[in-house]
Amino acid sequence: MLKFDKLKSYFFALTFSGIMFCSSIAQSQEESYVPCQVMPMLITNHEADMGDLVRYYSPSNSFRWGRISDPGGSQERRDRIVTLNKKYLAELDKINFSELPQECKVDYILFKRDLKYDINNAKQHDKIYTEVKNWFPFSENIYKYLKLRRRGYQLDAKEVAQSWNTSAKQIDSLLPVLKKEESLNNNQIQEAISAIEDLKNSATSIFSFFNDYDPMFTWWVPTTYKALDSSLADYKTAFQAKLENKRPVDESGIIGYPAGRDELVKQLKYEMIPYNPEELIEIANKEFAWCDKELLKATEEMGFGKDWKAAQEKVKNTYVAPGHQPEAMLDLYNESIDFLKEHDLISVPPLAEETWGMQMMSPQRQLVNPFFTGGTNITISYPTSEMSYDQKMMSMRGNNPHFSKATVHHELIAGHNLEGFMNSRYRTYRNYRTPFWTEGWSLYWELLLWDKGFPSGPEDRIGMLFWHMHRCARIIFSLNYHLGKWTPQECIDFLVDRVGFERANAEGEVRRSFIGSYPPLYQLAYLTGGRQFYALREELVKTGKMSDKEFHDKIMKLNSMPIEMIRAILTDQDVKEDFKTSWKFYDSID
């Protein structure tokens, strides 16, 4: 038996543990506090409803994605999703906006914005599809069977074979007509390509479901399906050829699709950026001029006078030997995380520190990602054996430790890795995914750590300035390209001559910007979003209203959204239901 004093200590320990446990639960509840019930419920239900509709009305019942602005594909699917969005708009109209708490007012504004944007986007696609509908007289010969396939109704196999045989012949007869057609514009061609892809996937879904399971289908349909599939592939190729013929090709060989000024302005309005493309270019040039001055200071400290390219060359040649890049990245990570802790800048969950990982980037990905990327893992870009000597040297020089020091914290903590860690734990119902928050937050840390004295010498400053200039250049070259003023080759030359890129890395950067999956505003979102966070810190931290740690921790628990809306929450602005962007955040930046 336990003695009394030991028993007393035992019960005290249990009581103390219980108090600490309850305190921990209370703290956890406070941190995961939901500001109201109605908005999180609506947003969560909408995302679930949208996922189910997309899954059901897509060619394959297993297909699903998150929030989408363009459902694409069949008119049936698009109409059904528009109906869903209108239903949720009606639900919003029942809510008394003025009685909502501040965070929920912000959710109301953003959710309504997204619903209206998606409805209008669908209407635009409907209009464009109507303009090219005559090129698809056979579409119902596929979609009518997809509707039956969803519920497993047995098809009349002979009818399917006959219908698809006719469709293949229709496509074959349209091909020579299409090759002579000159009136189609880029938007119409892209809409047609999207329609063909959906029809092709729909036919495949039908065929895969019934073939080998239905004896009559298996006897009648396979040869006609193959013919239809081949004809659709040829049809898509013909439309793609017309699109490529409309895209200017220069010596770079990079074929992109300039968005045009109207689309840029539309997307800037959606992202709550109160500047037009020309203003953003002007601001980027001013910020570039600041980089130039700082670069010359570092160049003079290194003994190169005003020859910044010579100083940069010396920095580039500090690359580590093959095989040693991962440990160099670990060293840089340790430097940055120690700096964050030493200056008490942000709370770092121990599990986030424990679980970030490393991967090596494939040679194929390095063609569009010449530098490392981050998130759950840091993916390291460095030469592989099959690269030529010149390619290896450009990769090593472009990923030298002084350049990399500027961005390890961007990719890991307190950047992308911490973003993902916190977004999956706080305000998880918010899905206002925007690169101005995602990339802007990570870029903001580059600006803040510069101010805090993170670079330890002129070589480090040249490395950090390379990336700052890089982000200025992204605004300048991407907007000039999408405005139709610059070619891809001019963008490459600008990066080489103005920023000091290795040419292969510049080609990869431009290729990534224009032929990947990045939307037109993505490249300007880095520095623009970073400057929004920077201006907000000037407003709240520099004035003593919040400490750095309070400011950063609060933002991390609000989840991703347009940064002007974070400002509305943190400053408790009087926001209206018909909110319009007005925050001229660059005005506070020298």
Non-local (6+) Cβ contacts of 451 within 8 A are none
Burial (CB count <10 Å: 0-12, 13-18, 19+), residue 206: buried
Nearest CA to 193 out of 182, 203, 184 is that of: 184
Nearest CA to 396 out of 413, 381, 377 is that of: 381
Q: Is the peptide bond before 414 cis (omega within 30 degrees of 0)?
A: yes
CB 488 within 8 A of CB 252: yes
Instruction: Provide the 8-state DSSP code for 557.
Output: T
DSSP state string for 445-496: HHHHHHHTT---SHHHHHHHHHHHHHHHHHHHHHHHHHTTS--HHHHHHHII
Non-local (6+) Cβ contacts of 16 within 8 A are none
Interior angle at CA 146, CA 142 and CA 148, nearest 5: 125
Q: Other CB atoms closer than 10 Å to residue 20's CB: what's the count? A: 10
Nearest CA to 465 out of 289, 301, 295, 297 is that of: 295
State how far the Cα of 495 lies from the Cα of 46, in Å rounded to an integer. 43
DSSP state string for 379-445: EE----TTS-HHHHHHHHHHT-HHHHHTTHHHHSTTTHHHHHHHHTTSSTT-----HHHHHHHHHHH
Beta bridge partners of 358: 378
Interior angle at CA 436, CA 430 and CA 439, nearest 5: 100
Question: What radius of gyration do the chain's Cα atoms show?
Answer: 28
pLDDT 10s per residue in the chain (590 long)?
A: 334 344 344 333 434 344 333 434 334 444 556 789 999 999 999 999 999 998 899 886 443 333 444 555 688 899 999 999 999 999 999 999 999 999 999 999 999 999 999 999 999 999 999 999 999 999 999 999 999 999 999 999 999 999 999 999 999 999 999 999 999 998 999 999 999 999 999 999 999 999 999 999 999 999 999 999 999 999 999 999 998 777 666 888 887 889 999 999 999 999 999 999 999 999 999 999 999 999 999 999 999 999 999 999 999 999 999 999 999 999 999 999 999 999 999 999 999 999 999 998 888 887 777 777 878 888 888 888 888 898 889 889 989 999 999 889 999 999 999 999 999 999 999 989 899 999 999 999 999 999 999 999 999 999 999 999 999 999 999 999 999 999 999 999 999 999 988 898 899 889 988 886 789 999 999 999 999 999 999 999 999 999 999 999 999 999 999 999 999 999 999 999 999 999 999 875 55
